[in-house]
Amino acid sequence: MIRQYTAYSLLAHNTFGIEAKAARYVEFASQSALIDFLGDGFRGKALVIGGGSNLLFVDDFDGTVFHSAIMDIDIVEETANDVLLRVGSGVNWDALVAYTVEKGWSGLENLSLIPGEVGASAVQNVGAYGVEAGDLIEKVETVRIADAVTCSFTKADCDFAYRHSIFKATEKGRHIVTYVTYRLKKTIEFKLSYGNLKEKVEELGGATLANVRRAVCEIREAKLPNPEQIGSAGSFFMNPIVAADKAAQLKSEYPSMPQYPLPSGEVKLSAGWLIEQCGWKQTPHEHVGVYQHQALVVVNLGGAKGSDVLKFASAVVASVKEKFGVELNMEVNVIG
């Protein structure tokens, strides 16, 4: 089934809470309905959205917004150790995590409470607490917009890296994700080394899937704004990655700077820390600021336009560049 609207408000489809309109909005409930709709291919201006938790609308969108309402979840293979789960791209991410935890299948529990939907998790390679969605993804199925042909990408094809996939690079804007298949484990492998996760899990009574989920939810609730109450798009910037010598120079100047060495030899820095050091927790602009408990999150203080958010973000980037000589890149997808 297809549902179509014109001059459609996207307010309820972006967690920043910004008013913008789509010339046309198309929601599809199955892959076959989408293929029928696209016919021999769609050549207009297209934007595919998930839960709208990583979008910043600066203008109205004068093309067609596609949104998946494919909701099926099927076990496609099950062995003594593994479950292969094929999930519709419209399924709410956290509902999927809750479902897998309830079933006793491990893999996604550290990714609890991330806003958004299954399709976007593969594009964005969402990650938190030492796990990335791409670690669990076996296959991504799409429909190609230009010719309505179905495509299938293996994990290797997807080229997952930190907040990165082929769908943000060479295949950007070309596909509508319809299904993502995850390989989950029946023998539980806990990943508790990030921050205070282990401590929190112990407080809750020890490592079980349910306790890991609860611990992650509690940590996130304490640090990140609830999109239903405060407009934001989660982390606004990516954590910057710098060369080892640059990291060493910064460490000698700022001994308390958090740094995370990567296998490549480069070092990941905390954008939140850098932004906080530039004083942004104390200096909001009109309508826009950073979240008091996590400076990486830019928040709509009420009535912000996309352009207000962008102006604020540019001032943040410039201050971090000036103080630390480090370039911040946006994680959020700016539309318009």
Residue 224, interface with ligand EPU (CB under 6 A)? yes
Nearest to 108 by CA among 14, 202, 204, 180: 180
Residue 195, interface with ligand EPU (CB under 6 A)? yes
Catalytic (active site) residue 264: no
Nearest to 239 by CA among 259, 265, 220, 215: 259
Binding segment for ligand EPU (CB under 6 A), chosen from 56-64, 234-242, 247-255, 320-328, is 234-242
Catalytic (active site) residue 53: no
**With respect to ligand EPU, which residue has the nearer C-beta, 86 or 223?**
223
One residue of 8, 66, 129, 179 binding ligand EPU per CB under 6 A: 129
One residue of 50, 51, 234, 289 binding ligand EPU per CB under 6 A: 234
Residue 123, interface with ligand EPU (CB under 6 A)? no
Residue 294, interface with ligand EPU (CB under 6 A)? yes
Enter the tokens of residue 201. Answer: 């899990």
One residue of 44, 258, 302, 303 binding ligand EPU per CB under 6 A: 258
Residue 48 near residue 13, CB atoms below 8 Å: no
Q: Point out the catalytic residue in the list 112, 121, 165, 235.
A: 235
Q: Point out the catalytic residue in the list 89, 106, 117, 163.
A: 163
One residue of 107, 134, 272, 306 binding ligand EPU per CB under 6 A: 272
**With respect to ligand EPU, which residue has the nearer C-beta, 51 or 234?**
234
Helices (H), the chain: 31-38, 93-103, 118-124, 133-136, 155-158, 197-203, 209-223, 244-253, 271-277, 306-324
Q: Which long-range contacts (CB under 8 A, 24 or more apart) does 66-69 make?
A: 66/26, 66/27, 66/28, 66/34, 66/176, 67/13, 67/25, 67/26, 67/27, 67/28, 68/27, 68/28, 68/34, 68/117, 68/119, 68/176, 68/177, 68/178, 69/3, 69/27, 69/28, 69/29
Catalytic (active site) residue 331: yes
Residue 125, interface with ligand EPU (CB under 6 A)? no
Residue 257, interface with ligand EPU (CB under 6 A)? no
Q: Give the residues lining the site for ligand EPU (CB under 6 A).
A: 128-129, 194-195, 223-224, 234-235, 238-239, 258, 270, 272-273, 276, 294-296, 331
The residues carrying an active-site annotation are 163, 235, 331
